Amino acid sequence: MIEQPYKSYLVRLWKEGPTSPGESIWRIELESVQTAHRRQFLDLCSMFQYLEMELDDPKPNKSNLDRDSSCFS
Domain residue spans in the chain? 9-58
At 7 the three-state DSSP class reads coil
Full-model pTM = 0.66
Q: Give residue 41's pLDDT.
A: 95
Mean pLDDT by 10 residues, the chain (73 residues): 82 86 88 95 93 75 53 62
Q: Give residue 57's pLDDT.
A: 59
Q: Give residue 25's pLDDT.
A: 87
At 5 the three-state DSSP class reads coil
Report angle CA 72, 3, 7 to the nearest 5 degrees. Answer: 30
